[in-house]
Amino acid sequence: MSLPGIPSLEGTYPSTMDPYPYEAKEFNRIYPFYENLRQKRLTATKCNACGHISWPPRVVCPECNSDNLGWTDLGSKGKARTITEEFAGVPLGWETPLIHALIDLGGGHKIFSRIVNCKPGELKEGDELQLVVYDIPPMLIEKREGMIESPRVFFAFEPVKKAGK
Ligand SMILES: [Zn+2]
């Protein structure tokens, strides 16, 4: 369902779940996150001064305030730790339930993500999940040459299908 002016874009992406809607380099200091995502790499910032890894990515290290940050891969597979199926209060234009999980990516990294390609009740704690990267509607941005469409991507996780299922 498409609602002009309302950020429930074709049921794939709510702006409320994306803290950095402008992915273009001109507007966003964490743009490498999206460039990495396009290569199917989920990355976080890693402080070159103290080694602290930040998720979501940052422009300044919350531990030592250094802005000398690099990028580190979080991996593209993990295990579901806690699962929620949201039936009420789902953003306008979305079908219920909206499934989310806290995912253990290994190496001490845990992230909260939307789960797609999954029926309600299907996902269990401990199930394997894998990264999915998909295109979302472009953002119109103003450049010297005029308004241009800036392509965008976003991510979710999906269950790893077991053989024979
Ligand atoms: Zn630091």
Residue 86 lies in a domain: yes
pLDDT score recorded for residue 2: 40
Query: For residue 121, is pLDDT > 90?
Result: yes
Residue 165 lies in a domain: no
What is the mean pLDDT of the segment spanning 111-134? Answer: 94
Domain hosting 55: range is: 8-159
Residue 100 lies in a domain: yes
Residue 110 lies in a domain: yes
CB 13 within 8 A of CB 154: yes
Residue 3 lies in a domain: no
Higher pLDDT pick, 145 / 69:
69
Task: Burial-class residue 29 by CB neighbours within 10 Å (0-12, 13-18, 19+).
Answer: middle
- Give the other-Cβ count within 10 Å of 137's Cβ: 14
Question: Which of the residue ranges 11-25, 84-98, 134-148 would you say has the lowest mean pLDDT?
Answer: 11-25
Average pLDDT, the chain: 85
What is the mean pLDDT of the segment spanning 131-145? Answer: 84
Distance 54 CA to ligand 1 centre (A): 9
Residue 114 lies in a domain: yes
Segment 40-96, tens digit of pLDDT: 999 999 999 999 999 999 999 999 999 999 999 999 999 999 999 999 888 766 778
Distance 23 CA to ligand 1 centre (A): 24
| Residue 30 CB contacts under 8 Å (≥ 6 apart), including other chains | 20, 45, 57, 58, 59
State yes or no: cis peptide before 62, omega within 30 of 0. no
Distance 155 CA to ligand 1 centre (A): 26
Distance 75 CA to ligand 1 centre (A): 21
Residue 150 lies in a domain: yes
How many structural domains is the chain composed of? 1
Residue 95 lies in a domain: yes
